[in-house]
Chain A
């Protein structure tokens, strides 16, 4: 399998993720979209790592592991924020979150 296919897949995933994050109004979908694009980047990294010699490719495989860990933590915090926001505003519609506008 050629490396380029992996990259194309990653690009498609990233596009879907960003499109979801930008077009959906529901906060949960926005978060899911962001997660998807993160994973697309992970995939891309792993794909590029595969093209390198074995010894060097280790680094490319480790970084996605970190990213997954951080993304998990981020998802935790993000969901907690969403819950608090929902309690506060009684909505998960992102367009209603405009209190911070100066």
Chain B
């Protein structure tokens, strides 16, 4: 059914305006705005956007819809439109962005209950959804960048939501700044593209058409170095948004925000924007084998590193944060071996199970009145059974237990990795499989510490433990259903169950074909069952190791929950790298500027001024206190002039 595309972003935008007005007008009031009304409005607008998306999704033509609302900016050498594109890729992204978004906003009604910034929170959430929709729906890079920065801004605002604590603000600043580095890459990448073939290349359909246009062959060949540069720069932007090496450090800190934010922005939607962009630009990346190789390697390293770091965390949300980074690594490796559809499929399933995990963790934290240290939890299975059930299902999905959502998508990625080429394929596959085992280990650790054993917190807090209210449980249950069944949309083992692949085919089939020409021959096909069996084995092995290692007594919690010693070295390796390569040099440069150069400039300025003052003091001494003396001086001066005139006879 055809309705205007701009309706989808319009609804959350209306939500932003209404909720901002409410938040501002109610701010002097101690009690704040009415939570029922604000919550209703906050959920209403995202749901309307979801309904609009569903209406558009039904019976969508193969090519999708494209719509240009107006011109954004148009100067002689640069043109950008407000163009929207609703095709197979943006359909899937939008469905889960608005769907999961609405569910999590509903969940927030319970989670944020009683907070003074209730209305502000919902305004930010709507702003986030607006930006995310723009990011996904736009048909050109500049407009995507608008959404890209918009979600970054919302991420900043929401991480620092509880801004009375400067620690949260620092985390927010860090997230924004690390992203900014990536964003500059994005900007320069766009410029590189423009200099290859003009600003029309920034629109995705035009870019795809240009790249396969045989008449452009020579121009394309000449532009290859610049295109490769553009590919690297744009990928730098993706590493920022999706927290990959080297711009990985901000995501764990981003957990300072409220848990629904972590679930929606820092797990399900925003952080996958980088993957989305790589897939969206797949026609470009498909002809750049060097960039694709880099993407794969970065994805692999990030996945492995983050999985190991996840083992060391005591904060329940930090474990999930590293797990998110690791899963994003999987998505990038899939994109790197040109399995763009598998990559998006993992984005899709991951959105369900990671959101469920975060919401479950949020419910646990909520029931423990803000306690996040897993060493002080335990035995929650009996106290909050519904939450525990949700978590168990999501847990099975993330470790890739057979027939849960994660099993199908991860299996697909591993298979594509293996078939990448003769030599690198098996190597990549082994690393990814090892990462899968570690994933199962740290997730088992999380489950054991949180839900099994006996409660390790204070007796005082034990009395207050309660199951979450319905408005929090409902979204969790829906997401659980997703994490159990979403995988069947593309179940490799079941013939005919590849709906997902067909939906994406109009967008990514051509690039995937192109990429195989550049990457080389895929290795011999091995049975799909073989991969499934190995994947299952990895999951079960991980559970066993995890159970064996962590079901024993838990060390007493002391101090904060940050890891120490060698564990900290591993976890904060990239923070150190940033400090040494980025922050400290900049600080030093700023110090030099401020303390040395500026002082020097100021000294010179003072020196010139001082010389002038000394000189003028000397002149001033002619100005005597007596009026008659001054008169005398002036007469003498006139005499002097006369004398000179007389001597030189006026010929001076």
- Would A and B touch once assembled, by the CB under 8 A criterion? yes
Q: Identify the A interface with B (CB < 8 A).
A: 18, 21-23, 25, 30, 94-95, 97-98, 101-102
Q: List 9 A-B contacts (CB under 8 A).
A: A21-B628, A21-B631, A23-B628, A95-B626, A97-B627, A98-B627, A101-B623, A101-B625, A102-B623
Beta-carbon nearest neighbor of A23 in chain B? B628
Nearest CB on B from A85, distance (A):
11
The reply to whether the CB of B632 lies closer than 8 angstroms to some CB of chain A is yes
Pairs of residues from A and B, 5 with the lowest C-beta to C-beta distance, nearest first: A98-B625, A94-B627, A95-B626, A22-B628, A101-B625
Residues of chain A contacted by B623 (CB below 8 angstroms): 101-102
- Our count of residue pairs bridging A and B at CB distance below 8 angstroms stands at 27
Is B635 on the interface with A (CB-CB < 8 A)? yes
Chain A residues with CB under 8 Å of B626's CB are: 94-95, 98
A25 and B628 alpha carbons, distance in the complex (Å): 8
Determine the interface band of chain B, counting residues with CB < 8 A from chain A.
10 to 19
Could you say which of B620, B625, B626, B627 has the most chain A C-beta atoms within 10 Å of its C-beta? B627
Q: How far is the CB of B625 from chain A (nearest CB, A)?
A: 4
A64 to B625 Cα, complex, angstroms: 34
Contacts of A21 in B (CB 8 A): 628, 631
Q: Are A95 and B628 in contact (CB under 8 A)?
A: yes
Expressed in whole angstroms, the Cα–Cα distance for A25 and B623 within the complex equals 18
Contact between A18 and B635 (Cβ–Cβ < 8 Å)? yes
Query: Which A residues are in CB contact (< 8 Å) with B632?
Result: 22
Q: A102 CA to B635 CA in the complex, in Å?
A: 22
Which of chain A's residues have a CB closer than 8 A to the CB of B625?
95, 98, 101
- Chain B minimum-CB-distance residue to A21: B631
From 595 to 632 in chain B, residues with beta carbon under 8 angstroms from any chain A beta carbon are 620, 623-628, 631-632
Report Cα–Cα, A102/B627, bound state, in Å.
14
For B627, give the chain A residue with the smallest CB separation.
A94
Distance in Å: Cβ of A96 to nearest Cβ of chain B:
9
How far, in whole Å, are A30 and B620 apart by their CA atoms in the complex? 25
Shortest CB-to-CB span from A23 to chain B, Å, is 7
Taking A22-B632, A25-B628, A94-B628 as known contacts, 8 extra A-B pairs with beta carbons closer than 8 A to each other, sorted by chain A number, are: A21-B628, A22-B635, A23-B628, A95-B625, A95-B626, A97-B627, A98-B625, A102-B623
Name the residue on B nearest A100 (C-beta).
Answer: B623
Q: In the bound complex, do residue A95 and residue B620 qualify as a contact, i.e. CB atoms below 8 Å apart?
A: no
CA distance A13 to B620 in the complex (A): 33
Name the distance in Å between B133's Cβ and chain A's nearest Cβ.
Answer: 70
**Are A22 and B631 within 8 A (Cβ)?**
yes
Bound together, the chains give a CA A87 to CA B626 distance in angstroms of 20
Shortest CB–CB separation between residue B421 and chain A, in angstroms? Answer: 88
